[in-house]
A and B are shown apart, each in its own frame.
Chain A
C-alpha cells in the first residue's frame, strides 16, 4: 500500500477575491514506502503548495490526502499527529531558528511530541550526526553559525522527529556545489538507514537525476508526469516545453548522438556518462 496518496487535489489561493489563484488542479499521485521522489517544475508551478498539503499545513479546496490509507483531515483536531509523521523542511529553513542553543532548537520538534528527556536527547544526537553537525556545535547559539550550518540545524530539527515521510523544499538552494553534494548525500544516507520515504523539491535537474527513484513533474498546477527518473529525463522535448531542462550531461549526450556517436540514451549522471564514454574512447572515438 502507498504511504502517501493524493487524490484529485485542488487548491485555490485567496478564493473569491480579485487575487484568486487556482494553484493546484486535480493532482493525483502515490508514493510508496521507502521511495525517493524528486519534485521538479518551473517557478510558480505549485510545488511548494503541493508539499504543504502533505502534512496538513494547507487544507485542500477539494480532494484528499491519504497517509497510510487514512484521510489526514478525517479528524481535523488531530492534524498535529500527521505533522509528526510527515516531516517538512521549508525553503530557507534557517530563518525559523529561535532557541538559545542548537541542541534546544533541534529538540523543539521531539519535545512537542511529548517524548521523554532521554529519548529527546538520543534523537537530537542522532539527527545532528545525520545532518553533519559536529558535537561541539550543539551548545552554541544558532545565530552564531554560518548560513550552511544553520540550514543543517533546521533540517536536523525535522529529522529528529523521525517522521515516516520526509519532505524537503529546495534544501540545497543557495549552497555551494560541495555543500549541495554533501547535503544530498546525508539525506540519502538518512533515508537508507531509517527506511524513510523522501520527497525532494528541487530546481536542480542534476540533483534529482543523481538520487531520485521517481520524478514528479509539476506544470502550471498540474502533475504533468510521474515516472521513473530515466523515463522522465528521456522525454527532454516535453520537459523543455514546460520551461525545464534535462541535466547538462544528458544534453551533451543527446548532441553526441545527433552527430552520430553511438553512446546510447538515458545518460543523466556523470557516473553513467563515464561508463558510456570509456569504451568509445578505447575504440578510438569516431562517429560510426
Chain B
C-alpha cells in the first residue's frame, strides 16, 4: 500500500532538457512562471503553450507523466475557472439564473485562466521530472550562495534537504515492515472509528520514531568519521558547468519574453 507513494518524481533520461545546468533550469522555470502572466490575449498565451510543448517534446518525457502531475489539481483548476466564469461580467449574457449570470467574457476569462494554470503546473513539473532531487538541492545551494553574506546557513539547509529526501523511501519501507510486524500480532488498523484508528497507530509510530533517531545518530556518526565539518572549504565530486546549450536556452527564454511584450502592444487584449 505504502509502496505507491512516489516522492521525488525524477524520470531519468539523457535529453537536451535533462542535460541543462540545473541552476539555469531553476531560473528558467521561475522566468517561465512569470512569463505565463505576461500575455493579455490568446496570441501571447499560445506562444507560452507552444514553448511548453516544445520543451516537453525535447525532454522526451511520456505525456502521460505530465498528465499525472496535472490530474490531482484538476478540481482546483475547475473550481477557479467556475468562480471566474460567474465573477467576470461583460459581453453578451448567455444564461441567467437568479444572481448567477454567465457572460461570454466570463467564459473566455475562465478558459484563459485554466490554460495559464495548466502551463504553470506542467512547466514546473518539467523541472522536477528532468532533475534529480540531489541535483536540485545542489543547484539551489549554489543559487542561494550569496545569502551566506547575511549569515543564512545555505549549505546546512541544502544538506538537510538532501538527507530528508534520501530518507523518505527508507522510512516508507520501515513503516511498511513495522506495520506488517504489528499486524502479525493481531493489530487491527483497518477497522474501527477515528479514535480507535489513531490509537492503533501508536504501535507503529513509536518504533518508527525510535528507529529514526537511531538512524540519525548513526548517520551523524558516519559523517563525523569521514570528517564532515560543514560546507567550509568543501569541494564537489560533480561540478556544475554552464555551456553553450544553457546560453541558448536563456536566449530562447528572452526571445519568448520579447515576443510576448510585442504581441501585447500590437494586438488587442482579450479581457
Contact B186 A83 (CB under 8 A): yes
For A83, A84, A98, the residue with the greatest tally of chain B CB atoms inside 10 Å of its CB is A98
Q: Give the CA-CA distance A14 to B183 in the complex, in Å.
A: 21
CB distance A93 to B181 under 8 Å?
yes
* A88-B178 Cα distance, complex, nearest whole Å: 13
Q: Interface residue tally of chain B, by bracket?
A: 10 to 19
Q: Which residues of B sit under 8 angstroms from A14, Cβ to Cβ?
A: 3
Nearest neighbor of A113 in chain B, beta-carbon distance? B186
Complex contacts, A84 vs chain B, CB 8 Å: 186
Of the candidates B184, B186, B188, B206, the one having the most CB atoms from chain A within 10 angstroms of its own CB is B184
Main secondary structure of the interface of A (DSSP, over half): helix
CA distance A228 to B259 in the complex (A): 80
- Is B185 an interface position by the 8 A CB rule? yes
The count of chain A contact residues (Cβ–Cβ below 8 Å) is 23
Contact indicator A88/B184 (Cβ below 8 Å)? yes
- Inter-chain contact B210/A143, CB cutoff 8 Å: yes
Provide the bound-state CA to CA distance between A158 and B177, in Å: 16
A90 and B187 alpha carbons, distance in the complex (Å): 15
A112 close to B (CB within 8 Å):
yes
B-chain residues with CB within 8 Å of residue A57 when the two chains form the complex: 180, 183-184
Q: A96-B207, A98-B207 are in contact. Are A55 and B186 (CB under 8 A)?
A: no
Question: Which chain B residue shows the least CB distance to A111?
Answer: B186
Complex CA–CA separation, A267 to B3 (angstroms): 45
Which A residues, 88 to 135, have Cβ-Cβ distances below 8 Å to chain B? 88, 90, 93, 95-98, 108-109, 112-113
A97, B203: Cα distance in complex, Å: 8
List residues of chain B with CB within 8 A of the CB of A247: none
Please indicate the chain B residues that have their CB under 8 angstroms from the CB of A98 in the complex: 202-203, 206-207, 210
Chain B interfacial positions (CB closer than 8 Å to A): 3, 174, 177-178, 180-188, 202-203, 206-207, 210-211
What 8 A-B pairs are tightest by C-beta distance, nearest first?
A112-B186, A98-B206, A109-B185, A96-B181, A88-B184, A98-B203, A90-B181, A57-B180
8 contacts between A and B (CB under 8 A): A57-B180, A80-B186, A90-B184, A95-B178, A96-B181, A96-B182, A113-B186, A143-B210
Contacts A55-B184, A80-B188, A157-B185 supplied; 13 other A-B pairs, CB < 8 Å: A57-B180, A80-B186, A83-B183, A84-B186, A90-B184, A95-B174, A95-B207, A96-B178, A97-B207, A98-B210, A108-B185, A112-B186, A158-B185
Q: Which residues of A contact B (CB under 8 A)?
A: 14, 52, 55, 57, 80, 83-84, 87-88, 90, 93, 95-98, 108-109, 112-113, 143, 157-158, 161
